[in-house]
């Protein structure tokens, strides 16, 4: 079984924006994330640890300005924490092993798909296309990713 963890080397390789978002709990500007409009089949992994987080099959257009997902691909890899910053109470989501700030989860997602909206910063993610999943060690998740059109 693969061990996912945060390393000094992985953190040092982050761009300034990726560092600000993942290590300092920042938020990218709405509408600017590189994965907002990505419709390719594959999975999204933590940019720091590589742990699998979300499947393209669970991504949807919420109109909020950030990539949105209905559920994690591996629930144990997503930690939920109370966030009382900015004068409101929200639920922050972080990668469990990499401890990267990912974004927040809200209860206004599609009711027919569980009702949750995981609002995630592109800067905290790395996308692995379906045709690269096996080679990169994510083959166990192929059944959770739609076939290419």
Catalytic residues, by residue number, are 119
| CA–CA distance, 144 with 140 (Å, rounded to integer) | 9
Q: What residues have CB less than 8 Å from 108, skipping those under 6 apart? A: 115, 117
Q: Minimal CA–CA distance to 133: which of 122, 121, 145, 125? A: 145
| CA–CA distance, 52 with 45 (Å, rounded to integer) | 4
Radius of gyration for the chain, computed over Cα atoms and rounded to the nearest angstrom: 14
| CA–CA distance, 85 with 68 (Å, rounded to integer) | 21
Q: Minimal CA–CA distance to 133: which of 55, 38, 39? A: 55
């Amino acid at each position: 079984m693969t061990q996912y963890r945060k390393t000094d080397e992985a953190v040092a390789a982050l761009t300034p924006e990726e560092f600000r978002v993942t290590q300092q709990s920042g938020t990218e500007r709405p509408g600017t994330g590189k994965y907002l409009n990505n419709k390719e089949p594959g999975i999204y992994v933590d940019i720091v640890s590589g742990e699998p987080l979300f499947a393209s099959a669970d991504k949807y257009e919420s109109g909020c300005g950030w990539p949105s997902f209905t559920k994690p691909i591996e629930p144990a890899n997503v930690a939920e924490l109370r966030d009382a910053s900015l004068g409101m109470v929200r639920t922050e989501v972080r990668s469990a092993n990499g401890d990267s700030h990912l974004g927040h989860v809200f209860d206004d997602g599609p009711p027919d798909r569980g009702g949750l909206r995981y609002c995630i910063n592109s800067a905290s993610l790395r996308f692995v296309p379906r045709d690269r999943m096996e080679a990169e060690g994510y083959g166990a998740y192929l059944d959770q990713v739609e076939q290419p059109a």
